[in-house]
Structure 1
Amino acid sequence: MAGPTTAERQRITSGPPRPPRSRARVRPRTLILSLIALVLLGAGGVWLFYGSQWLRVERVTTSGTRVLTPEEVREAAAAPVGSPLVSVDTDVLENRLRKKLRRIDSVDVERSWPHEISLKVTERKPVLLIEKGGKFVEVDAKGVRFATVGHAPKGVPLLELTPDRENAASSLRRFDSHRLRREAVSVAGALPAAVERDTRVVKVRSYDSISLELSGDRTVAWGSSEKGRAKASTLSALMKAAPKARHFDVSVPTAPASSAS
């Protein structure tokens, strides 16, 4: 008589099949306790940031000021001292500062936990001055007139807009005073450092007739603001080659000229 087959022996050895394991069930009590813990944790966080006295604005610090004073910046910012630090709208403070203090070119407002707001200011630097009524309007490298001062800052040249009488009407129709001012700013920004220190006046007669008055009764015919780098390099070389010259012409940088009279 034949014995049990291999499959039958395996069934006998392993015994009856086991029932499938059921997934662990989360007890309602555990779920409720977890939800309560989450709610309490969230409420505690809200209270910590908004309701407690631990994370409120106590100090406002400033940095980067040169002409402005820290007091002027803090007063213009009007940061909400005593308010929750997390609720401070930094964009609002930045816009307020730029609107109230035109001398400010850019500003970063940052929260410094747990109690401080820091105002990092970058002021505009004048590259040209416009004399008006015995005072001086400061113009920055973007052509923005941002402040009026009683005394001319040292080392900043005057801007003179003196349109050529013969071509004044047509020149101003094509290029208004704002455009001509931007051209003068572009020229001032291209000057070599040594020339920049000696420049007293940037004179604009038209778009392509800009000249410089330097210390020592020296003048430079610059032409338009185009090819500024080439003109700057040519002027530096020309001044070294003719140190006693009083008049320089770099309006065409490939054909410069100089003279003693």
Structure 2
Amino acid sequence: MKKTTVAGLILAGLGGLGIFLVINFTAVFSVSDLKVSGTNSVTAQRIRDVADVRLGQTLARVDVGAITSAINESVPDVTAVSVQRRWPHTVQISVRDRTVAANVTTGGKIRRADADGVIFGSVNRPKKGATKVVLIPSFDAQSTSARQSAIVDCLTVYRALPSKVRKAISRVEYRSGENITLVLTSGKTIRWGSAVDSARKAQVLSVLLGRRASVYDVSSPDLPVTKG
């Protein structure tokens, strides 16, 4: 190998090392700005506090994965997080808020929940127009998955209803996976059973509501029953 070639490789290597050192270990590309976008239900300051990005640190050494995980774990109001380095001096955090699908009463408190059954937001601040779900069983901290499934089941039932019936629903009560009940604003009740075959049950209910009754039971859609 010619000496000029070797010298060129050495210089290129030194140049690459120099660039690496400048990017990773000097203030030339340090963080001077932290931008947050997409927040509605939580403040940008809340996101900044959780992200804990130190101004002045080298941009290349900002751990975007750790920031993303911290926000996902600490801010349940958001459903998606994107953290990016914007050269030369900015960290950009973009979040997407959860959409309220239900006001859930559980343990004597009202909480908001999204379509996936995730509880979030402030206590006792229901969203106007959202489905009212009442969970009769008490779900402890270890039962998050079961609680989410219960909420999703209630929303599945509610969404299967014809729009006219949906408007007349006061609340959806969940006692178990096999015991979901709809309470109308008139005080009448609809015994739904499980969320399985909800489309079929909704069709049967549309016919059944033509009868005068206080209780409509479509838990077995092939054998519907009315009472009262």
TM-score past 0.5 threshold: yes
- TM-score, structure 2 length as denominator? 0.75
Do the aligned partners of 1:158 and 1:200 also contact (CA within 8 Å) in 2? no
Cα distance in 2 for partners of 1:221, 1:190 equals 11
> In percent, how many aligned pairs have the same letter?
26
Show structure 1 runs of 5+ residues with no match: 1-25, 164-175
Answer yes or no: is the 8 Å Cα contact 1:141–1:186 preserved in 2.
Answer: no
Match of 1:81 among 29, 51, 55: 55
Q: Does 1:64 align with 2:38?
A: yes
Equivalent of 2:154, from 187, 196, 218?
187
Amino acid in the other structure paired with 1:130: T
Match of 1:130 in 2: 105
- The equivalent position to 1:37 in structure 2, one of 1, 7, 11, is 11
Report if aligned partners of 1:104, 1:122 keep a CA contact under 8 Å in 2: yes
- In the alignment, structure 1 residue 152 sits paired with structure 2 residue 120: no
- 1:1-261 matched pairs, under 5 angstroms: 26-28=1-3, 30-126=4-100, 127-133=102-108, 135-156=109-130, 157-161=132-136, 179=146, 182-192=149-159, 194=163, 198-235=168-205, 237-238=206-207, 242=210, 248-256=216-224
Over alpha carbons, which structure has the higher Rg?
1
Measured after TM superposition, the shift of residue 204 of structure 1 is 2.5
Give the structure-1-normalised TM-score: 0.67
Write the letter of the residue equivalent to 1:249: D
Give unmatched runs, 5+ long, in structure 2: none
Query: What number of residue pairs does the alignment pair up?
Result: 220
Distance (whole Å) between structure 1 residues aligned to residue 91 and residue 212 of structure 2: 56
Contact 1:64/1:121 (<8 A) preserved: yes
Structure 1, residues 98-132: CA drift from partner, whole Å, max 9, x if none?
Answer: 22222233322222233222222233344341254
Give CA deviations for 1:195-247 in whole Å, capped at 9, x if unaligned: 55554322123432211123343432211121233334554x448x7499875
Secondary structure of 1:118's aligned partner: strand
Separation in 2, partners of 1:87, 1:207: 48
User: Once superposed, what is the RMSD of the aligned Cα atoms?
Assistant: 3.5
